[in-house]
Amino acid sequence: MIASNTPQKKMNVPAGYIFIHEKWQGSSIAQEIHRKSKGCCYEDLGVVDFFPSTDCPVIYLNEADLLCTSSNKSKVKSLAKEYPKCKSVVIMVLSPSTHEFFKEMQKVAVIDHSLTVLPITSSYGLPDLLIQMIRMETTSPVNPFKFKKKKTEVHSDRDQQISLLSTIPGVGETNAKKLLRVFGTITAISTATYSELAGAIGNSVAKSVLDFFNGGVMTVNN
């Protein structure tokens, strides 16, 4: 489904839908979104790749994107400037080859522009993560992906991280707290090995966490 009108800055995304930039049309990512949810391609979303909800513009940076640091710094800056009142999210691939670039872009997004960064290990995990964001937007009045700017709100940010991790099948609030206590950040959790995760939350839940961040492809590293 393609909409011909160029969207305004304020999007009106129906509950349960996700707006997709037309450049993704025909891709495996778009096909998977269409298979699992209600996707709608737009001819132009500007710098935004996906809108899983009205107030949540998302840009996605894969491994190749992260190698072009300067152009993507501009993209992140534009996202923050064009949607200052939204809960903007930057999803980036975190792998051995992008680790240093990831850290640099994370600083730009989080420190310089107060955006939220979510790591995934490959593009296979992107559709499921976006669909999780749709579900969180439609079931909770509080957006767990919002980055809190003020130092006095650090505790609230941790609560939001717990809320996000709790949406992973089989995890729940107790295991989410264990994960954050052991690993400290969602980025560290996303790169932990199966053995490390299992040591914190048990084998079956560890597999769910690994599947979530690896797009359903389980890689066991000791």
Look up the domain containing 77 and give its range.
Answer: 1-140
Token pair 């991280």: residue: 161
Of 140, 157, 179, which marks where a domain is finished?
140
Of 96, 117, 140, which marks where a domain is finished?
140
User: Do 164 and 55 sit in the same domain of this protein?
Assistant: no
User: Do 73 and 89 sit in the same domain of this protein?
Assistant: yes
User: Do 119 and 163 sit in the same domain of this protein?
Assistant: no
Lowest mean pLDDT among 10-14, 52-56, 211-215: 211-215
Distance CA 67, CA 171 (A): 33
pLDDT at 182: 92
For 164-199, what is each residue's pLDDT tens digit?
787 777 888 899 899 999 998 877 887 888 899 999
User: Do 110 and 181 sit in the same domain of this protein?
Assistant: no
The number of folded domains in the chain is: 2
User: Do 159 and 212 sit in the same domain of this protein?
Assistant: yes
Which strand ranges, in their side-by-side order, compose the sheet holding 38-42?
Answer: 2-3, 38-42, 17-21, 50-51, 58-61, 89-93, 116-120
Radius of gyration in angstroms for the set of CA atoms belonging to the chain, rounded to a whole number = 17
User: Do 78 and 9 sit in the same domain of this protein?
Assistant: yes
User: Do 110 and 195 sit in the same domain of this protein?
Assistant: no
What are the tokens at 70?
Answer: 């300067």
User: Do 101 and 201 sit in the same domain of this protein?
Assistant: no
pLDDT at 91: 93
For 69-118, what is each residue's pLDDT tens digit?
778 889 999 999 999 888 889 999 888 888 888 888 888 888 888 888 88
Of 111, 140, 169, which marks where a domain is finished?
140
Distance CA 125, CA 176 (A): 19
CB atoms within 10 A of CB 93: 22
Q: Is the model's pTM score more than 0.75?
A: no
User: Do 157 and 104 sit in the same domain of this protein?
Assistant: no
